[in-house]
Structure 1
Amino acid sequence: MRNIRQLLHELSQDSISKSSFFLVLNTIVTTGLGFLFWTLNARLFSSEQVGLASAVISAMNLIIALTGLGFGTAIIRFLPTAETRDEKNRYVNTFLSFNALIVFAASSLFLLFLSIVSPRLLFIKESIYLAAAFIFFVTAFSAFSLLDSVMMAYDCARWIVVKNSVFSAIKILLPIMLVSAGAYGIFASWGIAAIIALIASLVFLYKRFGYRARPAIHESLLRRTFSFSFGNYLSDLLSRFPGLVMPIMITNMISPESAAYFYVAWMIAGLVLMIPDAISSALFAEGSRNSEAVEQRVKHCVKLILLALTPAVIIGMIASKYLLMLFGAEYSKNASLLLSLLILYSIPSSVRSLYLSIKKIRKEVGQIIAVNAIGSILTLVLCYLTMERGLVFIGLSYLTAQIAIAAYILAFGLRIPRREGCA
């Protein structure tokens, strides 16, 4: 018992452990408050209005994802290398300003071609004011999201929880006042909450770190960091690609019902997958601030993942059937084994997550892209070849592909020098 208390005390004093905890807590809090947000909207608005609003928000998230260009990763990697406050300010202002320009342009193009891309969403540009508000909200939410990386780089992960909790809480209150606006009112609640939380976050960064937000783009900083940020952007898209296309593949090759079962199982498994992802993100942030003794930090992260992931996997597999019952008996009947396989998937996935964090610290972008590309291709090929056999074989394909990647990394890829020389 004393050893357990001592271990917990040591973990509470460790920066990686604390950052990981707050990142996991952030996901739990935002997921819970997000559920309340949509539950409230379901009572205040018609199902058609909720559906249209969710489509607009999905479009916003897609625009932000496609225009991100890896700036969040670049902020975490390069901001700690800045030696003065002014240099740090130049980094943040450059990334925020350049990202805002790209998002502004992409949002404008989206509205321009909206009648072709999604005619059902034409209501968001019924007037010039609604169209301008859409562009402004998307740009603000992109900047708001990018501040997560700024706070990670400044080693204040706990304030990510505060920032996103403020956003989520305000977002829940606003629909009550915007019922008359219909579907746009739901979207506006999201945008207004993001603006308020963005301003509060900028005030916090000014008071805590002396950061002054100004529109400025320093070309030398972009040239220095762009290959790293864009490489990580491509890698992230490759990593997410199987999850984006899998529901479509399942719908066409099995059935729409099976696609729903997969989506729910993947969503629940994501709560377990966030554990190694959070710890790996904390390792990346810590290693970017101080690239010495990476080997020691990796060993610590392995212990931390084992400590947190083992009970999560065991509990998740035991409770999989009951968790799916929350969505209906048919989900439990058809997706419980799939969910167990996807939860097991988190074990080899943790090897890949740690490996990619090491490569990010060392700026080895080619290796990052290669691992995610091979992993995604292998996953898609195995799923395609076995999909007609059912959802269980999709889960087995995911697990097999990730085990193969983890085996390669452990056998050939994981070479950690005792001293790192990342500039």
Structure 2
Amino acid sequence: MSAERGTTVRDGSTVRHSALRSSLGLIVGKAAQTGAGFAFWVVAARATSDREVGLTMAAVAAVMICTQLAVLGAGSAVIVAVGRGEPPARVLDAAFAIVGVAGTVLALGYLVLQSAVTPDTASLSVLFWLTFLVAAVTGTLVIVLDQALVALGRGSSASLRYALGGGVSLGAAALVSWGAHGASADVLMACWTLGTTVACVVGAVQLRRLVGYRPRLSLRPARGRPLLAVGLPYQLLTLTERAPGLVLPLLLAHMVAPEAAAYWYPAWMMAWAAYSAPMLMGIVQFSEGVRDPARLVSTTWASLRWSLVVGGLAAAVLVLLAHPLLSLLGERYADASAGALRWLAAGLVPYAVLQAYNAVCRALGRYTEAIVVGVMLGVALCAAALWTADRGPSAMALAWLVVLSIGAAAVGLRLVAVLRRLRKDAR
């Protein structure tokens, strides 16, 4: 299949992997990224003070917020467009151009706002500005790369790029720790950004080698408008899923104390390793639902089962080894956050139900319903966690789990009703 001016993508159907293989490949890749990320914070915690670690964690959370905003639903739009048989190259050219510009604008906007509202040493550093900007742009591109390769049936390629990216950031942090104790937040941020950049470059090479894509980036309105029209509703739904976990470290760092963010974030990051299983299964479930709507019901139940199996194993490990794992950061982290990690790990089951429901809503185009539910749940999660922040991370995590479980019970009933109706209509 070819597009204009030499931009070529081989027919994705000739190289498609199974939905399960794509899902497991994504999960392995995210596990490698999370493992390297945890090791990165272990090294960082031993290389500098809690304050600098907290500031760096808040900055990383801010980058992730920027990437989630900047993607503008482009990844979901690629999944929909490719699933409907549109030429992948033309869609990818527009998607990468849009998110590259959006990532740059949002990162600069955040940096200006932060310097004006809460100036500190890190936010005024030229190195911090540069690395934050690069991290936001490359991080946004990686999100689209992930979903583009899922749409083309090659989601399993994620394992290599995330392993390489995570290894590079960890190696850079280890060199900094070995060379100078007391590293500043901007130096740690530079190490983290290096890994994101490597993952982006490797992903671009994979996209070319696996499916023959050669970019010809385009910001033509005729290409961009349809992409945004499809993607923005899906992106709003994605934000309701991601925003609570990303916003809370920022709120803690600026409304409570940087130390509060430092103790909360490692527990959340490790729990997210388990949560990634249903999240990534949901992406593949959505892609398969668009490509083959007749199998949406069976795909949903299969994805939910695998989410609970794979994610449940990860959650069980976290519950059993919470204290030893966090003690790698230091005993103060283990004492403060082990209980929080156990409560957050228990949230795997309600989170899997929520992801299955959202994936069905995406595939059916029922995003308004899911967005309303997601906004209400996200506000309740952050409010409950902040309300209990003065009692420590464990109380915050318990409040988070209670709210998430109530929300999952409600959407679970709705999910069953929708799937029953689909099965009845199919008959």
Q: Shorter chain as normaliser: what TM range?
A: 0.7 to 0.9
TM-score by structure 1 length? 0.76
- Shift of residue 198, structure 1, vs aligned partner: 4.2
Look up the match of 2:217: 215
**Matched residue, 1:79:** 82
CA distance in 2, matches of 1:267, 1:172: 16
Distance 1:299 1:208 in 2: 30
Residue identity in the other structure for 2:272: G
**Residues 192-247 of structure 1, C-alpha deviation per residue, up to 9 Å, x if partnerless?**
66666545543432343232201213434433342442223333333334334545
TM-fit CA distance, 1:144: 3.9
Deviation of 1:120 (Å): 2.7
Distance of 1:51 and 1:397 partners within structure 2: 22
Q: Which amino acid aligns with 1:120?
A: T
How far apart are residue 104 of structure 1 and its match?
Answer: 3.2
TM-superposed CA distance for 1:116, in Å, is 2.5
Matched, 1:364 2:362: no
Q: Distance in 2 between matches of 1:418 and 1:408?
A: 21
State the AA in 2 paired with 1:75: V
Q: Which residue pairs with 1:162 in the alignment? A: 160
C-alpha distance in 1, partners of 2:37/2:304?
A: 31
- Structure 2 match to 1:346: 348
Partner of 1:411: 413
Query: For 1:215, what is the secondary structure of its paired residue?
Result: coil
| Structure 1 stretch displaced more, 49-58 or 352-361 | 49-58
Letter in 2 for 1:418: R
Alpha carbons 1:292, 1:420 under 8 Å: kept = no
3-state SS of paired residue (2:121) = helix
One-letter amino acid matched to 1:165: A
Q: Does the residue aligned with 2:214 lie in a helix, a strand or coil?
A: coil
Partners of 2:357 and 2:412 within 8 A in 1: no
Q: After superposition, where does 1:199-214 map in structure 2 within 5 Å?
A: 199-214=201-216
Counterparts of residues 178-327 of structure 1 (less than 5 Å): 198-247=200-249, 260-327=262-329
Say whether residues 1:18 and 2:16 are aligned partners: no
The 1:219–1:369 alpha-carbon spacing in structure 2 relative to 1, beyond 3 Å, is: same
**8 Å contact from structure 1 (residues 293, 420) kept in 2:** no
Instruction: Go from structure 1 to structure 2 and tell me whether the alpha carbon gap of 1:420 and 1:381 turns closer, same or farther (over 3 Å shift).
Output: farther
Partner of 2:144: 146
Indicate if the aligned counterparts of 1:108 and 1:135 stay in contact, CA closer than 8 A: yes
Q: Match for residue 403 of structure 2?
A: 401
Q: CA deviation at 1:406?
A: 2.0
Q: Is this contact kept in 1: 2:41–2:329, CA < 8 A?
A: no
Q: Distance in 2 between matches of 1:56 and 1:37?
A: 15
Deviations 1:147-171 (A, max 9, x none): 1221111111221122233334455
How many Å separate the matches in 1 of 2:57 and 2:391?
33
Q: Which residue identity does 1:94 align to in structure 2?
A: A
Work out which of the residue numbers 373, 376, 385 in structure 1 matches 2:375: 373
| Contact in 2 for aligned 1:77/1:360 (Cα 8 Å) | no
1:90 CA displacement: 0.9
Number of equivalenced pairs: 403
Q: Does 1:69 align with 2:77?
A: no
Cross-structure match for 2:357: 355
Q: Deviations over 1:329-386 (max 9, x none)?
A: 4444444443322221111111111010111111221022112112123334444665
Which has the higher mean CA deviation after the structures are superposed, 330-339 or 251-260? 251-260
Matched ranges for 1:65-144 at <5 A: 65-83=68-86, 87-109=87-109, 115-116=115-116, 118=119, 120-121=121-122, 125=126, 138-144=136-142
The whole-number CA distance in structure 2 between the counterparts of 1:47 and 1:328 is: 11
Aligned equivalents of 2:262, 2:51: Cα separation in 1: 19
Pair 1:124–1:82, CA change in 2 (3 A): farther
**What SS does structure 2 have at the residue aligned with 1:418?**
helix
Tell me the amino acid that sits aligned with residue 116 of structure 2.
Answer: I
Residue identity (%): 22
Q: CA deviation at 1:273?
A: 1.7
- 8 Å contact kept, 1:71–1:95: yes
- Segment of structure 1 superposing worse, 215-224 or 185-194: 185-194
Contact 2:58 2:250 in 1 (8 A): no
Q: Would the aligned equivalents of 1:167 and 1:196 in 2 still touch at CA under 8 Å?
A: yes
- Pair 1:27-2:30 in alignment: yes
Q: Flag the 1:254–1:159 CA change in 2: closer, same or farther, 3 A.
A: closer
TM-superposed CA distance for 1:306, in Å, is 3.5
Q: Given the superposition, is the C-alpha separation of residues 213 and 195 from structure 1 closer, same or farther in structure 2, using an over 3 Å criterion?
A: farther
Q: In 2, Cα distance between the equivalents of 1:71 and 1:166? A: 25
Q: Indicate the residue corresponding to 2:11 in structure 1.
A: none
Instruction: Report the Cα offset of residue 15 of structure 1.
Output: 2.5
CA shift, 1:62, in A, is 4.4
Amino acid corresponding to residue 157 of structure 1 in structure 2: G
Paired residue for 1:6?
none
Q: Secondary structure at the match of 2:423?
A: coil
List runs of 5+ in structure 2 lacking aligned partners. 1-15
Do the aligned partners of residues 67 and 303 (structure 1) sit closer, same or farther apart at CA in structure 2, a change above 3 Å counting? closer
User: Residue 234 of structure 2 aligns to a residue in which SS?
Assistant: helix
Q: Distance in 2 between matches of 1:51 and 1:247?
A: 9
Aligned counterparts of 2:209 and 2:358: Cα–Cα separation in 1: 33
Structure with max Cα Rg: 1
Q: 1:137 to 1:316 in 2, by over 3 A?
A: closer
User: What amino acid does structure 1 have at the position aligned with 2:409?
Assistant: A
Flag structure 1 segments of 5+ consecutive residues without an equivalent. Answer: 1-12
